[in-house]
Amino acid sequence: MTILTQASRQLFARSADERYASLADVLRATTDMKNRCVSTTIPRSELRPFVHDSYLSFQRFERMPIRLNNWSFTQLCQLASASKDTVNRLTADTAVQVFTDLLSSRDERDDTFQTLVFDDRVVRSMNGPGYRRLWNGDLVRFLMEYAIDFVPPQKGFNGATGLYAGEQDMFCFLINPSGWVEIGKEAFAPGFFVWNSEVGRRSIGISTFWFQSICCNHIVWDATEITEYTRRHTGAADTAFTEIRRLIEALVEKRDGRKDAFASVIAKAMKTRYGHDAEDVTKQLVDAGFVRTLATRAAAIAEEKGRFSIWSIVDALTQLSREHAFAAAGARRTRRRRGSSRSRSPDLLFLRPIRH
């Protein structure tokens, strides 16, 4: 099994203004961001670098000057084949000359830039002609429609829920807390990570998995059946939504199938008798390695309910285990003394809670 740290890295990297309590909050924030942005395709010849208030800025025709943020400046340097570190050491006037020369010498086949301008003042991104933008808000709306049983995990140590959206990208960590099932006699629940960037910072993708526990650092422990899909923002990038939907539906289908199988195991345990009477049940539990006092009390509890099924014995032992934290350890010591490596006791079916 695998330890997943993607959500933990997000927990430590995100500032407070990038954290959200629910998908509805993420949707409002990302929709507002989208509505305040203008996406345009600008011919290279119309993008003029110049100095404004001592900063490198750009102007298209006679419109107000717009400035680049750190990410769009990084992209512009890549598009112009300029070293960002070198340009950062230049004066604003020299940087203007560098970009004027480099942009004018670009291949005419790449004659356009795709820009995303926020509030008519700041360029959020500057992409090449082959880029295909997928809006964060559209992805969040998609999740709210097709992942209705999934919610964020318990809050991390700093109050973060696992839902993040910022200037450059978004990341959501969702689990199904009512989806615990048995896999190989251990309890697992389904979950997934999903991410996107509408400015070209990262691909769009999803990673689905089954896990046993999550700690306060949002580390996912003992993950299994991990499936990951990523898609670059090129060509028919919007088909990524179809694949993400397919993986979520497959996760839900497997959850439902396993829950049905688990329910049939419980039903069988409720119908199958473990012993004829309290004395017979006590003897079998002692032979299985449980201490006699515990076995006697479990048989008495089952007798009070009028049932000696496997399920009633498991229920009684589970109830007693809350009172005796070291009951299981006692049983193991007894088995070792008797030289037995196998136990004929009924399987104890515990659903493991999220680790705090």
Q: What is the pLDDT of residues 139-169, one digit of tens each?
A: 999 999 999 889 999 999 999 999 999 999 9
CA 341: distance to chain centroid? 40
Q: Is the pLDDT of residue 107 over 70?
A: no
Q: Is the pLDDT of residue 10 over 90?
A: yes
Structure tokens at 48: 């003029």
pLDDT of residue 228: 93
Secondary structure class of 112 (helix, strand, coil): strand
Secondary structure class of 118 (helix, strand, coil): strand
The most confident of 67-71, 165-169, 310-314, by mean pLDDT: 165-169
Q: Are 151 and 2 in contact (CB under 8 A)?
A: no
pLDDT of residue 346: 34
Residues 332 and 310: their CA atoms lie apart, in Å, by 20
Distance (Å) of CA 169 to CA 14, 71, 203, 226, 331: 11, 11, 9, 23, 52
Q: Is the pLDDT of residue 53 over 50?
A: yes
pLDDT of residue 314: 78
Structure tokens at 172: 């959501």
The neighbouring-strand residues paired with 188 are 181
Structure confidence at residue 119 as a pLDDT band (50, 70, 90): confident
Mean pLDDT value of segment 268-290: 80
pLDDT of residue 162: 95
CB-CB neighbours of 220 under 10 Å: 25
Residues 195 and 169: their CA atoms lie apart, in Å, by 7
Structure tokens at 32: 């507002």
CB-CB neighbours of 147 under 10 Å: 21
pLDDT of residue 304: 80
Residues 222 and 139: their CA atoms lie apart, in Å, by 28
Domain boundaries, the chain: 2-32+134-261, 38-118, 272-338
Residues 148 and 340: their CA atoms lie apart, in Å, by 48
pLDDT of residue 285: 83
Q: Is the pTM of this model over 0.75?
A: no
